[in-house]
Structure 1
Amino acid sequence: MSASSRSHHPKAKPGYGKRSVPDQRPPCEGGFALLPERERHIAGYVDALPEGAAMDIKSLARSQPLYGQMAVGSALRALGVAGHLRHVRCLSGEGGQVRWVTRTFWSRVARDNEWWDAFLAAEERRSAPQETAAPPPPWGHAVPAASEAPASVPAQPPIAAVPQQRTAEPEPEPEPEATVDRPSPAFLVLARLGRTDSRLALSAADCAALEQVAAEWFARGVDADYLTRVLTAGLPASVDSPFGFVRRRLHDKIPPRLPAAAPAVPGTPVRRLIVECTECGVPGRPEAFRDGLCRPCRQLGRV
């Protein structure tokens, strides 16, 4: 694996990308010797990448010359089953400035499901915000007792009226500029899917029909890049109906609402970490996954 190819590998956006798990053993020659050739090559490449490197299939396929997107996607799924990685969605930020980000936790050593479950549970606890006492609102301040109040408050002199004062004539408001209807972010994501992957080319009517559903993703804190990755991840060799395929994914993989938008339930902790299936990308609780796969994908035996 050449150092030059790794040096050109892109960084992920802040909060996204590769995250190495703790207690890693030092890298050694032949550390992935038991893996098949393709997985061994991708594992070695990923292992040498720095923290925060982009882990999406397109970036990995573009930065190393041996394998394309489909092969890279299959290799990542196999590495998840082998215990080297987990894809997760994490809440990043505090208060009303939170958003979902996608991270890939990487382990040089193959870990079993129990280890990953314990690690992800600890990672969620670690990322939970610390409770701090909020300052009292200005209307909640105590009123000082009579003995503590100032002895006297000097009266303000009356403001003398200015004789024959004229009120300035209000300036005429400018004419409103003509506005051009601009496509919404949701519409633009749908319209650009065909350029990202020709198998998901949608017509203008298709985009308009799906726009409202896609807009709900933005209302739940995701951005255009995130939505595009979810819709284009793990595509089959051919898509007979791009409209039906995208509609199904928009409904099936929509993330949960952000805590700021959901009513707080006393005694119910807010989940700040959700695992993604390494095959289909569907989110869920860590304990619902085995070998990084959701139940339907395990039953189908896709790897």
Structure 2
Amino acid sequence: MAASGFGKRSAPDQAPRTRDDFAHLPVREAAIASHIDRLPDGAAVDIKTLAKEIPAYGQQAVQTALNNLSDAGHLRRIRETGGEGRTQWVTRSYFSRTARDDAWWEAFLGEGGDASAPASAPAPARSVAYEALVRLGRTEPRLSLSAAECSALEGLAYEWLRRGVAPDDLVRTLAAGLPGVVHHPGAFTRTRLTEKMPPEAPSASEPPPSRRRVMECTGCGVPGRPEALPGGLCRGCRGDGPGLEPTGPADVNVRAYVSELRALARTSR
């Protein structure tokens, strides 16, 4: 796993996983994308780690593949403060098995990058709830559920997600501390979903603490505004000319963020 706060983050509202998610990509890119897609949130997805985990490709090949995945809309690297009043900057790699265009990623950047669907859009969250129940059976065979049972329990699972529980945490909680034999997985899971239901999340009436965020080039890490990083890549990494110096209309906040990033880089040398 990456250091706390760093590493992979799943983008919201992805389509359910299928065997053809990356069929549109070249073989190398598809293999690396499939590997990243299966990793849990928080896993290290830097070049060296991926090259160790996927022996078929060296570091240079992995770097090129990550650039191509960024250009195809599956990956963006974003540097942001930790939130909740913390000032530490962390770099997170947001991954989406569903390819997204630049406009989607720019909107996502502006929304704060929360990895859960908004409460006003329950349909995608319900599909995530169903998928979590399917994954529960694959993670813990004693709780293998039928399609009918997944549908029947989807509403309860969705309520967990609505209250702020991540899908991975939902699966871990349901699968923890099982008896040796589970005779009725559906009834057992329903009981756990009901009795272990977490409390309501804090009211959304109060705005969350502001989080400062800047997109980075997937290839070299230079910060820039989304419109200056088409496909998540600067001009140099796209092969269109010299590397990027952030440009665009004057934006005091963005310029302040970039200045702070550069100061952090100097102090870390």
TM-score by length of 1: 0.46
Query: SS in structure 1 opposite 2:106?
Result: helix
Query: SS in structure 2 opposite 1:90?
Result: strand
- Match in the other structure for 1:32: 22
Q: 2:83, 2:211 within 8 Å by CA — same for their partners in 1? A: no
CA RMSD of aligned residues (A): 2.4
Paired AA for residue 108 in structure 1:
R
For the pair shown, which has the larger CA radius of gyration, 1 or 2?
1
Matched, 1:288 2:228: yes
* Alpha-carbon distance change, 301 to 35 in structure 1, aligned in 2, over 3 angstroms: farther
- Match in the other structure for 1:275: 215
- Match in the other structure for 1:177: none
**Pairing of 1:107-118 with structure 2 (within 5 A):** 107-118=96-107
Query: SS in structure 2 opposite 1:291?
Result: helix
**Pairing of 1:137-216 with structure 2 (within 5 A):** none
| TM-superposition CA deviations, 1:137-193 (whole Å, max 9, x none) | xxxxxxxxxxxxxxxxxxxxxxxxxxxxxxxxxxxxxxxxxxxxxxxxxxxxxxxxx
Query: SS in structure 1 opposite 2:76?
Result: strand
- Match in the other structure for 1:103: 92
Matched, 1:89 2:79: yes
Q: CA deviation at 1:63?
A: 1.3
What stretches of structure 1 of length at least 5 have no aligned partner?
1-10, 127-269
Moved over 6 A (4+): none
Q: CA deviation at 1:125?
A: 9.2
Q: CA deviation at 1:66?
A: 1.1
- Match in the other structure for 2:50: 60
Q: Counterparts of 1:25 and 1:124 in 2: how far apart (Å)?
A: 17
- Match in the other structure for 1:237: none
Paired AA for residue 70 in structure 1:
Q
* Alpha-carbon distance change, 39 to 108 in structure 1, aligned in 2, over 3 angstroms: same
Q: Counterparts of 1:123 and 1:93 in 2: how far apart (Å)?
A: 10
What stretches of structure 2 of length at least 5 have no aligned partner?
116-209, 244-269
Q: CA deviation at 1:112?
A: 0.6
Q: How many corresponding residue pairs?
A: 149
TM-score by length of 2: 0.51
